[in-house]
Chain A
Amino acid sequence: MKIAQKNKILETCLIAGRIMIESGSEMYRVEDTMNRIAYNAGIQKSVVFTTPTGLFIGIENQPYVQLGAVAVRTINLEKVENVNTASRQFATKEITLDQLMLRLKQIDQDTAHFPLWLQITAAAVISAFLMIIFSGEYDWLDIIPSAVAGALGYAVFAAVNRVTTIRFIGEFLSATVIGIVAYLLTRWHLGVDIDNIIIGAVMPLVPGVAITNSIRDLLAGHLLSGMARGMEAILSAFAIGTGIALVFRFFM
């Protein structure tokens, strides 16, 4: 096999792995997919090392290694599914290596999102309905305030993340907005229980899934990725808690 061909195989594996880590896949699936692509492209033994901030792939006992950095980590399951499908098609020889690389680049750049208004509506629905089932006391009066606060918070979160790439500032600002809205709504007697409203409204933002995934990574033996993802989750919980506490300090 020529050197250029080996490099191209490694690069394809690297793109697939980077997209999957950026979209919030589990580590074992990332490693499995990369090894699978390499194997199906003709590399018998590949060596993969992945962390949430960067990944390596090489060929065993040969001086070919490529590494890539992972800058953003979000949850975008459509990308995970598309990479998975492309890898399966490559395994059954439906597409060639060049087509696979093209597909991966397309997936990376233009995977369609749900429109923003739908996401904001969904955030409102999450806030209202989870507030009801979490509070345990069927607090029907707070449905509308909770939905309004949750929708505004999610809108601020999306807007801030579009403007800046600084991490955690989006969580902080949207939590502040949620706190202010909840405070004003209870003050004007449109809402009853400020705690219920806030707990519902922060639900689209809180990193509960990230905390659970990090513990799962730790239990599965991926210590590095478990620690890194756990730290990220704790920091984003800190940003949300600080934003709410700021409002509590000043207004209550």
Chain B
Amino acid sequence: MPYWVQFIIQALFSYISTVAFGICINLPRRALLWCGFAGMAGWQVYWMLFNFGSGRMLANLLGALAVGICGNIMARYKRMPVIIFNIPGLVPLVPGGTAYGAIRNLVLGNLNEASTQGVSVIMIAGAIAVGFMLAQILADITRKRAITPKWVSRH
């Protein structure tokens, strides 16, 4: 299969499955078609980096960064909370399949594979969380003026 066909298939399928997940978690209707773009961007970054041989951690981190940046832009544009775009956008990236594999191996008694996959789940989740935090830092830097709200108590 030529590369560009694969690219289109991956983009389309990640978009559709992100929107479908949005339906399962009762996303507001006016955000439904937008959140798919966050999921598509994140998955495409991950997939291309992974194909270029960057390893799963870096690919996941930069994929989550892409999801976070898209989420922040759309949240500012649509005036909605960021998680409305981030949580469905994360769905193609999250290590749900690996977590399932780890538990299955644990229950079936394959302890070596179980511990390998379990550690991999924690590492991937950590990489995604770091990617999100980087996106949040970028959003904080680019905000027009930094206001410290009056109700924040400084300890």
> Which chain A residues have a beta carbon within 8 Å of chain B's beta carbons?
24-26, 29, 35-36, 38-39, 44-47, 60, 75-82, 84, 111, 113-114, 118-119, 122-123, 125-126, 129-130, 132-134, 138, 154, 199, 202-204, 206-209, 211-216, 219-220, 237-238, 240-242, 244-245, 248-249
Contacts and interface: CB of A to CB of B under 8 A. Distances in A.
Contacts, number: 175
Given A204-B21, A216-B132, A241-B106, A81 B80 contact: yes
Contacts of A154: 24
Best-buried of B47, B83, B122 by chain A (most CB within 10 Å): B83
Contacts of B129: 212, 215-216, 219
B128 interface: yes
Contacts of A78: 26-28
A93 B57 CA distance: 47
B25 A203 contact: no
Interface string B136-155: 00000000000001111100
Given A76-B25, A126-B24, A216-B129, A138 B100 contact: no
A25 B16 contact: no
B87 A209 contact: yes
A212 B90 contact: yes
6 contacts: A39-B150, A129-B17, A206-B100, A209-B94, A240-B100, A248-B108
Contacts of B130: 219
B58 interface: no
Given A45-B151, A77-B26, A138-B1, A125 B20 contact: yes
A103 to B, nearest CB: 16
B153 A60 contact: yes
Instruction: Kindly list the 7 A-B residue pairs having the minimum CB-CB distance in the complex, ordered from nearest.
Output: A241-B103, A208-B94, A206-B96, A208-B96, A245-B107, A122-B23, A122-B20
Contact of B94 (A45, A79, A211): A211
A234 to B, nearest CB: 8
Interface residues on B, range: 35 or more
A199 B151 contact: no
A111 B28 CA distance: 10
A113 B125 CA distance: 29
Contacts of B28: 77-78, 81-82
A229 B43 CA distance: 25
Contacts of A206: 94, 96-97, 99-100
Contact of B104 (A47, A203, A248): A248
A132 B13 contact: yes
